[in-house]
């Protein structure tokens, strides 16, 4: 709950897109899957449901992006950019706002990654797509299930293979073949 408290403090208990104070919930910004202060935003039920179900989106509700697109939080910028991108196909005002919006290069890459039609691809901690044969570095100590061993942070896994589950990659670490959660790796 500490993460949720930090998010509420950051947003001053208001939706980070439309400033509503009703029913705030954390929303993880893809391709990330865990709620962290850096990878989540606090949204009201209206914003959250319209993002999750774009076919129900009310274009006039999203005029609030005129203000929230200037937020200094990268996760908020990513969500605002993605919504403006979707709306810009049918709304001239959204296209104009999108033209005015500026994103740092890494934030722009994060925003575009989440717009992929096929988001079900293994991605490292930075959202970079992993491919068969890539070399990755483990970013934190990982316990090996079924044993007392640990894969240490900084261990390099060379020539990974992909699995049926897009969240997992396989490779050899410390002489053992194993599956590793892709989000705990960094592509070399």
Q: What is the pLDDT of residues 44-68, one digit of tens each?
A: 999 999 998 888 889 999 999 999 9
Examine the domain organization and report whether 68 and 27 are in the same domain: yes
Residue 83's pLDDT is: 94
Which pTM was predicted?
0.63
Counting the structural domains of the chain, the total is 2
CB neighbours of 130 closer than 8 A, spacing ≥ 6?
121, 122, 123, 124, 136, 160, 162, 169, 182, 185, 187
* pLDDT higher than threshold 50 for residue 99: yes
Residue 118's pLDDT is: 47
Residue 128's pLDDT is: 86
CATH number at residue 154: 2.30.30.40
Q: Is residue 128 part of a domain?
A: no
Residue 160's pLDDT is: 93
Q: Which of 109, 147, 155, 142 is nearest to 128 (CA)?
A: 109
pLDDT (mean) for 137-155: 90
Q: How many CB atoms lie within 10 A of CB 31?
A: 23
Q: Is residue 58 part of a domain?
A: yes
Of 54, 83, 114, the position where a domain reaches its end is: 114
* pLDDT higher than threshold 60 for residue 119: no
Examine the domain organization and report whether 151 and 99 are in the same domain: no
* 3-state DSSP assignment of residue 154: coil
DSSP annotation string for 116-153: -S---S-B-TTSPBP-TT--EEE-S-EEPTTSS-EEPT
Instruction: Read off the pLDDT band of 116 (50, 70, 90).
Output: low
* pLDDT higher than threshold 80 for residue 76: yes
pLDDT (mean) for 155-168: 88
Examine the domain organization and report whether 98 and 150 are in the same domain: no
* pLDDT higher than threshold 70 for residue 169: yes
The overall average pLDDT reported for the chain is 90
Find the domain containing 182 and state its range: 136-187
- d(CA 84, CA 13) in angstroms, rounded, equals 23
Of 50, 82, 114, the position where a domain reaches its end is: 114
* pLDDT higher than threshold 90 for residue 149: no
Examine the domain organization and report whether 102 and 183 are in the same domain: no
Residue 114's pLDDT is: 66
pLDDT (mean) for 93-98: 94
Residue 185's pLDDT is: 93
């Amino acid at each position: 709950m500490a993460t949720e408290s930090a998010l509420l403090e950051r947003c001053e208990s208001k939706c980070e897109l439309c400033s509503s104070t009703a029913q705030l919930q954390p929303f993880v910004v893809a391709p990330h899957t865990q709620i962290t202060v850096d990878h989540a935003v606090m949204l009201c039920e209206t914003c959250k449901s319209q993002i999750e179900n774009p076919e129900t989106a009310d274009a006039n509700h999203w005029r609030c992006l005129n203000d929230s697109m200037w937020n200094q939080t990268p996760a908020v910028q990513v969500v605002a950019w993605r919504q403006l991108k979707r709306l810009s196909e049918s709304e001239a005002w959204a296209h104009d706002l999108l033209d005015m919006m500026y994103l740092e290069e890494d934030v722009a890459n994060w925003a575009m990654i989440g717009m992929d039609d096929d988001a079900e691809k293994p991605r490292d901690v930075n959202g970079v797509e992993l491919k068969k044969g890539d070399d990755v570095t483990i970013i934190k100590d990982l316990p090996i299930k079924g044993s007392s061993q640990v894969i240490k942070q900084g261990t390099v896994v060379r020539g990974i293979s992909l699995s049926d589950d897009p969240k997992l990659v396989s490779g050899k670490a410390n002489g053992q073949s194993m599956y590793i959660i892709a989000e705990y790796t960094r592509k070399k």
